């Protein structure tokens, strides 16, 4: 399988990354609504948005921990030498969570282990619904959307209870398609939906021959973010500067620069520097983790706890000079089947998988496809990603200014701060 997450900036590496950009070691779990223990919301659902009646503060913490740790696990699985990496843990986690709702027995157990899902399904659904309710809409300051949709085989029989779960807890639209006689037309329709939901940034999520006459359902998530920096870089200050590759070679890359007198959170120790660049509106930010040595030394140390620790230690920097290369990364459509199997999700991809909560068919996952895009420039960040799960079956600082100069490979996370969700994560090996 081609694991290249071509030219990608390791966006949203594990646990805190707000919409695509927060460096892998700097994600920490942000306390959720300390004035709310969540219990006040039980029974208060009005029918608007997703059903988050059973949300609890512990449930929010558990589901964001699960999402972020899964993202870190998958990021480490996808590493491929000195290639750029960029994925959306949020998108992949959401698509697989919808699929998990139909899993039973050992199939469900393996999926839960890989996704780090908490045991209480009632609280899990309500808490993840609250996370989606908070993430799904942008504001006047930024655009952020993340719709879900499932595409069952036309005329097929899936359990009504499964459909109701998708509708109540995942914003899941349902549209039947004719996979049997027109699989190519069905593939094109799903790809068109993804393209429309991501402002045309994600095209051809499902490659040719990914859908055939044995397909019985495709479950999809799309996520799109467009935000401006709270502190914008001046394009006149962008200049070519040295960037040292992991190979040791030195290259020239367009590098943005700005001076911020106060307001940026910053942390430094003997192993790394970390800085948080907020987006307008204050709901999202990019956390950049800049190791003092090779980025390959930082990656094995990344975990939800290490990111949480870094985030807690970050504080106001005072005056800081920031230098950040411009970059644009498109991850080609990648197949995640082998990577998810390596993480322990085995039975779901084999005949004999138990998806009896979804259908009475002998169904299993044929493959999981993911594609992502990110662009970082003087104004801000645009990031998009999409995931498709294809189901099949047999027959049917001090006084001195801080200098943060990003001049060698680094990781980054894009996080939704209120829910502590890593929306994107990646690594920049070569900004070119």
pLDDT tens digit string along 109-119?
999 999 999 99
Residue of higher predicted confidence among 311 and 395: 311
pLDDT tens digit string along 226-268?
999 999 999 999 999 999 998 899 999 999 999 998 889 999 9
Q: Are residues 20 and 139 in the same domain?
A: yes
The model carries a pTM of: 0.85
Does residue 430 lie within any of the structural domains?
A: no
Q: Are residues 143 and 192 in the same domain?
A: yes
Q: Are residues 304 and 358 in the same domain?
A: no
Q: Are residues 93 and 78 in the same domain?
A: yes
Q: Are residues 61 and 179 in the same domain?
A: yes
Q: Are residues 220 and 293 in the same domain?
A: no
Q: How confident is the model at residue 411 (pLDDT cuts 50, 70, 90)?
A: confident
Containing structural domain, residue 242: 235-326+399-407
Does residue 412 lie within any of the structural domains?
A: no
Q: How confident is the model at residue 48 (pLDDT cuts 50, 70, 90)?
A: low
Q: Are residues 201 and 279 in the same domain?
A: no
Q: Are residues 204 and 72 in the same domain?
A: yes
Does residue 62 lie within any of the structural domains?
A: yes
Q: Are residues 356 and 221 in the same domain?
A: yes
- Kindly report the CATH number assigned to the domain that includes residue 90: 3.30.497.10
pLDDT tens digit string along 57-76?
999 999 999 999 999 999 99
Does residue 427 lie within any of the structural domains?
A: no
Does residue 414 lie within any of the structural domains?
A: no
Name the domain count of the chain. 2
Contact 349, 340 (CB under 8 A): yes
pLDDT tens digit string along 179-212?
999 999 999 999 999 999 999 999 999 999 999 9
- Read off the tokens for 154: 């036309």
Q: Are residues 320 and 332 in the same domain?
A: no
- Kindly report the CATH number assigned to the domain that includes residue 322: 2.30.39.10
């Amino acid at each position: 399988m081609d694991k290249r997450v071509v030219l990608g900036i390791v966006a949203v590496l594990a646990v805190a990354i707000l919409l695509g950009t927060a460096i892998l070691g700097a994600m920490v779990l942000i306390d959720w609504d300390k004035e709310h223990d969540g219990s006040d919301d039980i029974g208060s659902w009005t029918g608007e948005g997703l059903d988050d009646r059973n949300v609890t503060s512990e449930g929010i913490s558990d589901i964001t921990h699960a999402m972020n740790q899964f993202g870190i696990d998958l990021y480490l699985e996808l590493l491929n030498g000195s290639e750029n990496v960029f994925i959306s843990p949020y998108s992949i986690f959401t698509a697989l969570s919808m699929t998990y709702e139909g899993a039973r027995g050992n199939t469900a157990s393996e999926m839960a282990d890989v996704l780090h899902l908490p045991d209480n399904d009632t609280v899990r659904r309500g808490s993840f619904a609250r996370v989606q309710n908070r993430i799904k809409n942008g504001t006047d300051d930024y655009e952020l959307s993340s719709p879900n949709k499932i595409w069952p085989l036309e005329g097929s029989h899936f359990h009504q209870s499964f459909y109701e779960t998708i509708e109540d807890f995942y914003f899941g639209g349902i549209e039947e398609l004719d996979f049997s006689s027109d699989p190519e037309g069905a593939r094109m329709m799903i790809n068109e939906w993804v393209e429309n939901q991501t402002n045309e940034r994600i095209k051809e999520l499902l490659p040719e021959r990914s859908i055939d006459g044995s397909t019985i359902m495709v479950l999809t998530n799309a996520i799109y973010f467009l935000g401006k920096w709270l502190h914008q870089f001046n394009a006149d200050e962008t200049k070519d500067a040295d960037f040292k590759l992991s190979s040791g070679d030195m290259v020239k890359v367009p590098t943005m620069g700005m001076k911020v007198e106060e307001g940026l959170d910053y942390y430094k120790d003997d192993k790394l520097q970390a800085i948080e660049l907020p987006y307008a509106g204050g709901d999202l930010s990019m956390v950049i983790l800049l190791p003092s040595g090779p980025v390959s030394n930082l990656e094995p140390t990344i975990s939800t706890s290490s990111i949480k620790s870094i985030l807690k230690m970050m504080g106001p920097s005072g005056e800081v000079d920031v230098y950040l290369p411009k970059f644009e990364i498109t991850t080609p459509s990648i197949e995640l089947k082998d990577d998810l199997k390596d993480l322990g999700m085995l039975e779901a991809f084999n005949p004999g998988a138990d998806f009896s909560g979804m259908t009475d068919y002998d169904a299993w996952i044929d493959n999981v496809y993911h594609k992502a895009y990110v662009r970082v420039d003087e104004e801000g960040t645009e990031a998009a990603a999409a995931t498709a799960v294809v189901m099949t079956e047999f027959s049917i600082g001090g006084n001195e200014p801080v200098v943060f100069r990003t001049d060698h490979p680094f990781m980054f996370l894009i996080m939704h701060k209120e829910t502590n969700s890593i929306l994107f994560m990646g690594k920049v090996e070569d900004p070119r």
